[in-house]
Structure 1
């Protein structure tokens, strides 16, 4: 029934990077055939425990060890699922292609879903084939009043082209990263309150600023746009926070 399909799949594997570069030019090998789509989707079950491709699944998850098992999409949660970068419902021929299977966390896997923009061609960043911009574009805004407020935003750099920045915006929107990073930042600051207090008591505002700058540099080893890097850069530059305003962390809930 599927004469020639094997050759077509091999060709599709060879075209994978071309599809990533311009998805608008490509349609699925199974386009228009529900029977072929179902057959190709069924291959994914071969990665389950006790099935012929179980070792492939284990091998893919081992690649996450180089990232300390952190999700490449949010840089926070532990990986626990395989995401089809090109969704298998749109491109079932890639349902078991290792290059298309990215270990991610449950949250990002759920939110990304079947995201596959064939209209403007803007795809999210692929953990294997794309490099997230290394220019500072993720900013954290700190406001110290009766509370300590944290807001994340993106700042367009002249070094980044429109298409790349559009992909960044798409990724943050689909994954709800602004709100997610805000919640993570609140937890981070709460956990570190004793460090701020001890540093300020012994070294004053300049000592606290130096400590926060050091924490920013440490986070930047992962990425200049890591949410912790943006947070600590902003804190180190905030005069009110470094001159004792950090105590508002204890006084009131943060936003």
Structure 2
């Protein structure tokens, strides 16, 4: 799990909105132009909330909701400037990072999520910091339910919430009866030094998206593949399977973050006293 790179505000985010607006049909464009001052004001509010780490304090804006359908049309219609914006967001990311959804780390991010839901905040429907590349499962699970009943954010903002460089995803292994394989069970463990507010956000993100359950579902097959790769490494004349596996884990960690579930899995397997036995019978 690693933060996405925010698209630079150059050209300004508002200019990107204007470029999209100006490619809409005449009536829509006219209506959007009429509320330009509202959009400008709300973009400033978004920037201030990001600076103060207070996104949850932004409330739905009644004047924006009144023209919500028109504002959402900026995203719903496939204009060239919108395609350019989406591509710019993807191009801003380091190579390989978007091989996995940044919200779950398990699947290809084939959609964009509106972090602040477009149905409640239509004025941010094409704001670059409000468009998060993600998979369809995370997108549909999150939907418009971004705040808890208590008004707290339930999901990490992958552009601006600083994910700590501390391991909080852990894994344990069990040999399946008769050694028919190795099972992996993941868990979330709070590291020392993470404050309550941010730990609650991380926990909520994992719980709402059922990430531990997803990792457990995928873990056994991934363990089998890793062991097979180790076996191939040895059969090809390679040695030191622990070093081989640590190297692969570090590569994953460097690209996807310390808490990417496969990086955690590889690193933990490299440290396990049973690795050599597992590889021999794989």
Q: Do structure 1's residue 209 and structure 2's residue 242 form an aligned pair?
A: yes
* TM-score, scaled to structure 2: 0.74
What does residue 38 of structure 1 align with? 69
What do residues 188-215 of structure 1 show as CA deviations (whole Å, max 9, x unaligned)? Answer: 2222333333567899xx9333333232
Q: 1:219 corresponds to which residue?
A: 252
Q: 1:230 aligns with which of 264, 278, 282?
A: 264
Q: What secondary structure is seen at the aligned counterpart in 2 of 1:72?
A: coil
SS of 1:192's partner is: helix
In structure 1, runs of 5+ residues without a counterpart are: 251-255
Q: Distance in 1 between matches of 2:230 and 2:81?
A: 53
Q: How many correspondences in the alignment?
A: 244
> What is the DSSP-based 3-state SS (H/G/I as helix, E as strand, rest coil) of the residue aligned with 2:197?
helix
Deviations 1:94-115 (A, max 9, x none): 0111221112122221222113
Q: CA deviation at 1:51?
A: 5.8
Does structure 2 retain, via aligned residues, the 8 Å contact 1:30–1:93? no
Instruction: Spell out, residue by residue over 1:116-161, the C-alpha distance to the aligned partner (whole angstroms, 9 max, x if none).
Output: 2152423422222222121111101112242422111111111111
Backbone CA RMSD of aligned residues: 3.1
Match of residue 215 from structure 2: 181
User: Residue 97 of structure 1 is aligned with which of 127, 136, 143?
Assistant: 127
Within 5 Å, give how 1:139-218 maps onto structure 2. Answer: 139-146=170-177, 147-197=181-231, 207-218=240-251
1:241-252 → structure 2 map (5 Å cutoff): 242-246=275-279
Counterpart secondary structure, 1:7:
helix
Partner Cα distance (2:97, 2:58) in 1: 35
Partner of residue 22 from structure 1, selected from 54, 57, 77: 54
SS at match of 1:58: helix
Q: In the alignment, what sits opposite 2:87? A: 58
Which one has more relative contact order, counting CA pairs under 8 Å at least 6 apart?
A: 2
- Following superposition, the deviation at residue 180 of structure 1 comes to 1.8
Which residue is equivalent to 2:142? 112
Asked if structure 2 preserves the Cα contact closer than 8 Å seen for 1:29 and 1:91, the reply is: yes
CA distance in structure 2 between the aligned counterparts of 1:30 and 1:132, rounded to whole angstroms: 33
Q: Quick one: distance in 2 between partners of 1:161 and 1:75?
A: 24
Report the equivalent of 1:74: 104
TM-score (norm 1): 0.81
